[in-house]
Amino acid sequence: MKIILIQLAQEKDEELSEVVSRLRAYERGHYGLEEAVEDANNSRKQNKLKDKQIEQLMHEANNLQVFHSLFCNPYFLNWEHDVSP
């Protein structure tokens, strides 16, 4: 779980570096407004997708934590089931 979150953070860092690089190119006149707007829109879409992935991973982690607390509880592991009718 931590590895996935670290990877997502690294991807966000790479995206930010790319955006800064494009901003500098734009400021030098090597990058047009049309491309900038398109890239900004694409970045927003990618960020929304990554945010949704993070939300899903957090939900899964919470579910695993609940599962672990319910089924790995020593009380339940040592509990003997009465199967008599």
**pLDDT value at residue 84:** 52
Could you tell me if residue 50 is inside a domain?
A: yes
Could you tell me if residue 85 is inside a domain?
A: no
Could you tell me if residue 64 is inside a domain?
A: yes
Could you tell me if residue 54 is inside a domain?
A: yes
Could you tell me if residue 56 is inside a domain?
A: yes
Average pLDDT over every residue of 56-74? 84
Count of the separate structural domains present in the chain: 1
**pLDDT value at residue 49:** 92
Give 27-54 pLDDT, tens digit per residue. Answer: 777 767 777 788 889 999 999 999 999 9
**pLDDT value at residue 76:** 60
Could you tell me if residue 30 is inside a domain?
A: yes
- Model-level pTM? 0.49
pLDDT band of residue 20 (cuts 50, 70, 90) is confident
Of 30, 10, 11, the closest CA to residue 21 belongs to 30
Could you tell me if residue 79 is inside a domain?
A: no
Domain range for 34 is 17-73
